[in-house]
Amino acid sequence: MNWISEVVRPRIKTLFKRESPENLWIKCPDSGQMVFHKDVEANGFVIPGSDHHLRVTATDRLRLTFDEGKWLDVALPEVAIDPLKFRDEKRYIDRLKDARAKTGAIDAFKVGYGRVQGLAMTLAVQDFHFMGGSLGMAAGEAFIKGAETALEKKTPYVVFAASGGARMQEGILSLMQLPRTTVAVRMLRNAGLPYFVVLTNPTTGGVTASYAMLGDIHIAEPGALIGFAGPRVIEQTIREKLPDGFQRAEYLKDHGMVDMVVHRHEIPATLARLGRLLTKQPAPNGVAKPPLPVAEAV
């Protein structure tokens, strides 16, 4: 190597090197179209053209739903970490650390309190990016805390479900969240408060077997996969070919399992309309209500 290859060339490469974000473009799962990430984000993470609804984080979901993207975070209870000392290919506690570092969240649920189209609401959002939105003790406590907040504030309770099911690393402790969350839903019903479930892609397993199917009204995003076991498992079990679109939101609406399929852009207005109807509140008169004061933070 001479001095030109050792000194000059690396310096020239460094001088003209340009850093590009890894997520600059997004490929549509339906059409294969490459779309500019900022355009998708500005469209509520819905692919322009194909209208494919991408998964969103819990924070983005709250921002897209609450008025002006503002809300008050509800503090969630702490739970025991790795109570069973579970280990498969790696330790459960290490999986939790990786998920928290990747998402910046403590667990799969985030709960917020604010206004949706002027109506005070409590929202709980399940984040599929955190270990597949799996239901464990932390998620169960978060769901119950959201229900208790709705009871305290006397607001409708809305849950955005997105999960692959119960968290196997917590064993029976995870499965016990199914009856616990069901009791929380019963508390809302006894208080006469609406409980809405928005089913997003995917909603499966123990979540579908509990609070995701106990709502007063079930709303689904277009194309969302909703069911207990996956289509492949069902086909292998019954040894029959399933109908086209089986377990998708539109198919389930046609067969009575889902009340309505609503585009992501229309979900806030739909929730506010249903909330006013079931709480017997008058329609808005066009005067926007002020944001909730900081003193009302939970």
Residue 297 lies in a domain: no
Domain count, the chain: 2
Residue 210 lies in a domain: yes
Query: Please, are residues 211 and 165 in contact by the beta-carbon 8 Å criterion?
Result: no
For the domain that residue 221 is a member of, what is the CATH number? 3.90.226.10
User: Does residue 207 sit in the same domain as residue 186?
Assistant: yes
Predicted model pTM: 0.88
Residue 64 lies in a domain: yes
User: Does residue 67 sit in the same domain as residue 49?
Assistant: no
Average pLDDT of the chain?
Answer: 90
Residue 109 lies in a domain: yes
Rounded to an integer, what distance in angstroms lies between the CA atom of residue 257 and that of residue 182? 18
User: Does residue 50 sit in the same domain as residue 145?
Assistant: no
User: Does residue 257 sit in the same domain as residue 209?
Assistant: yes
User: Does residue 130 sit in the same domain as residue 30?
Assistant: no
Hey, what amino acid is at 266?
E
Q: Where are the strands (E) in the chain, listed by range?
A: 25-27, 34-36, 72-73, 109-116, 119-126, 157-163, 195-203, 217-220, 260-261
Residue 266 lies in a domain: yes
Q: Which residue has the tokens 């019954």?
A: 238
Rounded to an integer, what distance in angstroms lies between the CA atom of residue 97 and that of residue 105? 10
User: Does residue 30 sit in the same domain as residue 147?
Assistant: no
User: Does residue 106 sit in the same domain as residue 45?
Assistant: no
pLDDT per residue as tens digits for the range 41-50: 999 999 998 9
pLDDT at position 21 over 70: no
Dihedrals φ, ψ of 217, to 5°?
-140, 135
pLDDT band at 17 (very low <50, low <70, confident <90, very high): low
User: Does residue 74 sit in the same domain as residue 50?
Assistant: no
pLDDT at position 19 over 70: no
Cα dihedral 261, 264, 269, 273 sign:
positive
Its domain, for residue 177, covers 55-279
Cα 274 to chain centroid distance, Å, stands at: 20
- Give me the mean pLDDT over the 256-284 stretch: 95
User: Does residue 71 sit in the same domain as residue 125?
Assistant: yes
User: Does residue 90 sit in the same domain as residue 28?
Assistant: no
pLDDT band at 296 (very low <50, low <70, confident <90, very high): very low
User: Does residue 32 sit in the same domain as residue 102?
Assistant: no
pLDDT per residue as tens digits for the range 60-114: 999 999 999 999 999 999 999 999 999 999 999 999 999 999 999 999 999 999 9
Radius of gyration of the chain (CA): 22
Hey, what amino acid is at 114?
G
What angle (nearest 5°) sits at the alpha carbon of residue 178, between those of residues 77 and 257? 125
User: Does residue 242 sit in the same domain as residue 151?
Assistant: yes
